[in-house]
Chain A
Amino acid sequence: MDISALPLGEITFTPEGGLRLGALARMADVAADPAVREAYPVIAHALELSASPQLRNMATIGGNVMQRTRCSYFRDVSAACNKRAPGSGCAAREGYNRGHAILGTSDACVATHPSDLAVALAALDARIHTRGPGGERTVPFADFHLLPGTTPDREQDLRPGELIVAVEVPPHPRPLASGYLKVRDRQSYEFALTSAAVALHVQGGVIRSAGVAAGGVGTVPWRLRAVEQHLVGRRPAGGLWAAAAERAAEGARPLAHNGFKVDLLRRTVERQLRIVGGGS
């Protein structure tokens, strides 16, 4: 079904300072929007580090959030894959799984969610607006992508006939420093090994609120609540970034080839906290 003619391409700010991205807004347009760059650099960075200019010129915000895993067994129809063919098994668990998830995995599936934008949206507490036969709904971003559990074929909280119409970022207290770091083998045009989206509101020398999420490591865009909790109420100084980042990989279950991600995730988060929050 071609939805490209629907009037869902708008990029608008709410009077309270929230941001509403129409589902059909192009990745390139959102990344280049001066107001987006000013208010939410983390969104612009995440988009600019995604895919290639050609793809970003065509691809949409809704499509990006909905994109499916890059697990190569998922895309190889001759391989066992519970996500593609429920009940057939998971070739990746005992196979080649360097790119796979360490967080949120299940026996049934260990695939990562590949989107960069979704990581930024997770850190910003975004909401998904949908419309369908049953009317309109608003789904918190954290609930939208489903953990694989025993049903990895079910990936989003989207009902039959429902469409994403917009993604909304709620107003955030200002000043808000934010940014996105993507770690990958080559410098462009590759999905993340690990990534970190960080948004910090610092006032009076104290971190009042923190949004931190990671990519390349989770079966869904991975919100790092333990890291956030460690930050809030503290002063951005000395060993704070390292101490907070230490908690990034809590609960990680590494596989044969992706064990390095546990450490790399902590380091990625620490680096990005420092880049956004300052200090050494």
Chain B
Amino acid sequence: MTRSQSMQPQSAVGAPVARVDGRLKVTGSARYAADHGPADGIEGVVHAVLVEATIGRARITGVDTRAAEELPGVLAVFHHGNAPRLPYRDNPFPDSINPPGERLRAFQDDRVRFFGQPVAVVVATTPETARHGARLVEVRYAAERVGTDLAAGTPGGEPETYGRGDVEAGLRSAEVRLEMTYRTGRNHHNAMEPHAIIARWEGDRLTVWEKTQWVADPRNELAAAFGIPQESVRCLSTVVGGAFGNGGRTWVHSVIAALAAREVRRPVKLVMTRKQLYSGVGYRPAYEYAVRLGSDRSGRVTAMAHDVRGETSRYESHADDMALGRMLYTTPHVAQTVSLVPLDVNTPTWMRGPGWSTAAYALECSMDELAHELGIDPIELRLRNEPESDPATGSPFSTRRLRDCYAIGAREFGWDRRNPTPGATRDGDRLIGTGFAAGAYATERMNAQAYARLDADGRVVVQSATSDIGPGTATSMSQVAADASACRWTPCASTWATRCCRPPRSRRWPGRWRASARPCRTRATCCAPGRRPRGHRPGLTASRRRPGRVVVRDGWLSVGTDPGRGETYPQLMGRNNRSHLEVIGSYEPPEESGFSMYSYSAIFAEVAVDARLGLVRVRRMLGVFDAGRIINPTLADSQAHGGMIGGIGQALLEHTITDHRDGRIVNADFAGYLLPVSADVPDVRAIYVDGEDREADPIGVKGLGEIVIVGVAPAIANAVFHATGRRVRELPITPESLLG
């Protein structure tokens, strides 16, 4: 904690308190999915290692498991030829977030749908033996022609369309027209913790220790796959070592682990290798994003056509939300098509700022191109197109403080010192440029339920079916709980979740599961022994007669007219012989709120480009965010910095590369897939504009975890243009794209 007790504000929400589980994490004692063992009642665990297809599209003609099975310690090898048929009930939205299509099943047929698909699993008494065994399994294939390249022009499926006004007429009559196509490479989440699961059966009941962003999803998907009631599956997830969207759905390896555990009648642990994470779980798909812009000379954008193509698998259609272009600017004529191209790849999934970060790259670079074309300052251009109400729906915005973001950001960044001419600022061998981009992200609201208990010792316990994926959910929840129970926020020994799975019976979605610093997740406790204000007398008999007049502050209950007379929660419960008080609360967002709700970003970046060598270095970056109420500024900074660093990766480094001859990913490790390192991350700063959003939810939060990456890549790309005068319309921006 950075504040002394005496300075602690009345409200715990808003205080920059340290993570309640921080010590556990930095000392290595926090237990991630694969770390569980005998202490958690898991005895006799055995180990599973996947065998992946080494071909991009094929029929399996034979699996030779003899060598593996002869290895001492190998218990079993499963593949499509011997795996039990599983019921695989449908598991559609809203019980799951499986996209439309038929999900990849655990060894249920002989098809290879993508390079790296699990085709067998070896179960052995040690991880080493299982790995050795996996190397010995020989799979024979009848190869088929593979198509994995979005740029090869494979036609997409039926596009999702959006339109308002008459875009073609709008473009025809525009004084200025621009047309360009932006391309983004495939990105992988690359969380530190690999996907991992321990599966244990007791009769027909399955317990899994799973890496997940949403504890109800493994429960629902495993129940569906094995055809058992949801109540028969328990999912435990304590801490999660980052997920960024990839823990949203339950992937096939989890079903494989449970299948193996059922067959060998032992708990099975399966930990994916870093390499397997490039094909076994999802990724941010590659996109081609064509933009046609029409504007008048004063910079009013009159028409905008967006035609988007994105990669998906042949068995599922994962669609990212490309709505940014519909709501960010007033533009009267807008047309959008979003088409998914089925390829021989595994299904993509959400990755931080899904859809919105990709759309922001295209939209915000095109706005920068327009600003340059018209000779209008890029921020001024945005202001000239700033809507008063949501142009897509006509609804008022709940809150939209984007103008404030621009103004604060411009002031803090020193935007007015910018020489608008590209390529005009030099520092030795380097060209200096600054760039700007705006962004938005939809505020998502889900049904949520939480259980709260006030113990006789004054401790408040809050539980909800969710996991802490890293934003500090246990901490922010305990802050909210402290305020809600009017108790003093004190971190106590057990502040941290040990079990997160208490799926309430009728709920569908667990809390707000993606943004940061939001309430209603995991279990959180805060100690609230209650303090009697100095000179105050005990006793609160009045409360019985007029409960409505009881005032609680700092855990001290008193009656409105006589604040000196009161008692603490422990006293109250002691007097009434109660061990605890408990309540289950739930939240259901109104079907129609009548408001458009988004978080917003304004990103400013300064880059230095060594143009002769093609090297782009980010020098400093500022993000100004309108995310509603900030529960904890320290946690918010960790989200914002992480998101902005992710944006540096998206802009300059990160690119999953496929060898299109066979669909093999050729840089499936941290040496080949480049994430920003400390040296690439200079001065990164975040500012949050003041304000809550009471329309968004009862505690005024709009969500921060996603918006922090939206706008970063275009701000950097625009800065590169400003530095060099060269427009690169492809991410990541590599040295070769700047040479010549």
Contact = CB atoms under 8 A, between A and B. Distances in A.
Contacts of B160: none
A98 to B, nearest CB: 8
B657 A96 contact: yes
Interface string B116-159: 00000000000000000000000000000000000000000000
B653 interface: yes
Interface string A164-203: 0000000000000000000101111111010000000000
Given A185-B653, A185-B735, A263-B739, A96 B666 contact: yes
B736 interface: yes
A263 B736 CA distance: 10
Contact of B429 (A79, A188, A271): A271
B661 A95 contact: yes
A70 interface: yes
Interface in A253-272: 260, 263-264, 267-268, 271
Contact of B734 (A72, A73, A185, A267): A185
B612 A186 contact: no
Interface in A59-80: 70, 72-73, 76, 78-79
Interface in B316-348: none
Nearest to A188: B679
A263 B659 contact: no
Interface in B687-740: 734-736, 739-740
A186 B652 CA distance: 8
Contact of A267 (B613, B659, B677): B613
B5 interface: no
A107 B429 CA distance: 38
A272 to B, nearest CB: 11
A260 B735 contact: yes
Nearest to A194: B613
Contacts of A73: 666
Given A96-B666, A268-B613, A271-B613, A188 B677 contact: yes
A260 B738 CA distance: 10
Contacts of A38: none
Contacts of B734: 185
A89 B670 CA distance: 26
B400 interface: no
Contacts of B86: none
Contact of B674 (A79, A95, A190, A267): A190
Given A76-B664, A260-B735, A185 B674 contact: yes
Which of B657, B659, B676, B677 has the largest count of A CB atoms less than 10 A from its CB? B659
Interface residues of A, number: 25
B641 interface: no
Contacts of A187: 617, 677, 679-680
A95 B672 CA distance: 15
A94 interface: yes
Contact of A264 (B613, B617, B659, B666): B613
Contact of B735 (A76, A94, A189, A264): A264
B267 to A, nearest CB: 30
Contacts of A189: 677, 679
B671 A70 contact: yes
A260 B739 contact: yes
Nearest to A268: B613
Nearest to A270: B612
User: Which label, helix, strand, loop or mixed, suits the secondary structure of the B interface?
Assistant: loop
Contacts of A78: 54, 664
B136 to A, nearest CB: 12
Contact of A79 (B657, B664, B667, B740): B664
Nearest to B648: A186
B73 interface: no
B396 interface: no
A243 to B, nearest CB: 16
Given A264-B613, A271-B612, A186 B677 contact: yes
Contacts of A268: 613
B593 to A, nearest CB: 44
B541 to A, nearest CB: 66
B701 to A, nearest CB: 35
Contacts of A260: 614, 735-736, 739-740
A38 to B, nearest CB: 26
B542 interface: no
Contact of A95 (B614, B615, B659, B736): B659
B736 to A, nearest CB: 4
A95 B740 CA distance: 24
B462 to A, nearest CB: 41
Contacts of A70: 671
Contact of B614 (A76, A96, A264): A264
B678 interface: yes
Contacts of A183: 613, 615, 735
A147 to B, nearest CB: 24
A132 B134 CA distance: 38
Contacts of B669: 72
Given A72-B672, A263-B739, A186 B679 contact: yes
Nearest to A95: B659
Contacts of A91: 659
A264 B739 CA distance: 8
Nearest to B675: A186
Which of B54, B671, B740 has the largest count of A CB atoms less than 10 A from its CB? B671
Given A187-B679, A271-B429, 15 more contacts: A76-B664, A94-B661, A96-B657, A183-B735, A185-B653, A187-B677, A188-B679, A189-B679, A190-B671, A191-B671, A260-B736, A260-B739, A264-B614, A264-B735, A267-B612
10 smallest A-B Cβ distances: which pairs?
A: A260-B736, A187-B679, A78-B54, A188-B679, A96-B666, A72-B666, A95-B659, A188-B677, A189-B677, A267-B612
Interface of A: 70, 72-73, 76, 78-79, 91, 94-96, 183, 185-191, 193, 260, 263-264, 267-268, 271
12 contacts: A72-B666, A72-B672, A78-B664, A96-B666, A185-B735, A186-B674, A188-B677, A188-B678, A260-B614, A264-B614, A264-B739, A267-B612
